[in-house]
Amino acid sequence: MKFFIDTADLTEIRDAQAMGLLDGVTTNPSLMKKAGGSDFHGHIVRICEIVDGDVSAEVTATDYDGIMAEAHTLAALHEQVVVKVPLIPEGIRAIRSLSSEGIRTNCTLCFSPTQALVAAKAGATYISPFVGRLDDISTSGMELIEQIVQIYANYGYATQVLAASIRHPLHVVESALAGADVATIPYSVLMQLMKHPLTDLGLERFLADWAQYQQAAATSNGAS
């Protein structure tokens, strides 16, 4: 399973990259707002220079011509850029055209299996079903991941399932069990994946015992 980080924060991206965990990055306009700054294109290029993998950058136009123009600009920024396009009719039309041109796309804001089927037929590189936002409205986000994985397997679609809107480690576990190709994970959740109280307790005991061992060894060496 590939791990992407769901952030535009360069410090978080650098940290995750240093751990050797990153296969890519997803951004969106809300994450850009959170990261701050005024140079959107420069920021995307900086992310590409940190990470050795796909970096999703989102268009903000909602009409076909506007989406295509933004997509061409974004794709030209760096070879790692994947153009993120919303799952609306004009977006699907643009994904079809971009796919024919060899420009990779991440079809975002997916909330149903029919939307995912349409995105795959249009040739999207990734489909981003939003797990957490579905859970928020008492609908199983994970059931959607399972349905999409099954539908894509039934027909051999190449579109990769990118579990998005991940809120906690269980979302990552369940996405992996369902066979999602990628999980895009916020930095805080990425760190939680490594945490276990028994690991902390076990390490504390090992270090305490090691200190006692060294003390005993020093005493015995001093005595001989």
C-alpha–C-alpha distance, residues 152 and 158, integer Å: 8
Q: Which stretch binds ligand E4P (CB under 6 A): 64-72, 125-133, 144-152, 211-219?
A: 125-133
Whose Cβ is closer to ligand E4P: residue 121's or residue 133's? 133
Whose Cβ is closer to ligand E4P: residue 136's or residue 204's? 136
Question: Is 160 an interacting residue with respect to ligand E4P (CB under 6 A)?
Answer: no
Question: Is 164 an interacting residue with respect to ligand E4P (CB under 6 A)?
Answer: yes
How many Cα atoms are found within 13 Å in the side-chain-facing hemisphere of 129? 32
Residue type, 77: L
Question: Is 184 an interacting residue with respect to ligand E4P (CB under 6 A)?
Answer: yes
Whose Cβ is closer to ligand E4P: residue 81's or residue 164's? 164
210 CB-contact burial (10 Å; exposed 0-12 / middle 13-18 / buried 19+): exposed
Residue type, 172: V
Question: Is 105 an interacting residue with respect to ligand E4P (CB under 6 A)?
Answer: no
Whose Cβ is closer to ligand E4P: residue 32's or residue 69's? 32
What would the two tokens of residue 146 be?
A: 């399972």
Phi, psi for 26 (deg, rounded to 5): -120, 135
List 41, 46, 96, 133, residue binding ligand E4P (CB under 6 A): 133
How many Cα atoms are found within 13 Å in the side-chain-facing hemisphere of 114? 2
Question: Is 128 an interacting residue with respect to ligand E4P (CB under 6 A)?
Answer: yes
List 7, 26, 115, 160, residue binding ligand E4P (CB under 6 A): 26
Question: Is 183 an interacting residue with respect to ligand E4P (CB under 6 A)?
Answer: no
**Hey, which residues between 28 and 57 contact ligand E4P (CB under 6 A)?**
28
Nearest residue to 9 (alpha-carbon basis) of 152, 149, 187, 162: 187
Question: Is residue 195 among the annotated active site residues?
Answer: no
**Other CB atoms closer than 10 Å to residue 162's CB: what's the count?**
29
List 115, 147, 160, 165, residue binding ligand E4P (CB under 6 A): 165
Kind and range of the H or E run holding 65: helix 64-77
Q: Could you tell me whether strands 182-185 and 160-163 are parallel, antiparallel, or unpaired per DSSP bridges? A: parallel
List 6, 54, 70, 146, residue binding ligand E4P (CB under 6 A): 6
From 33, 34, 84, 121, active-site residue: 84
The answer to whether 75 touches 83, Cβ cutoff 8 Å, is: yes
As annotated, the active-site residues are: 84
The binding site for ligand E4P (CB under 6 A) comprises 6, 26, 28, 108, 128, 130, 132-133, 164-165, 184
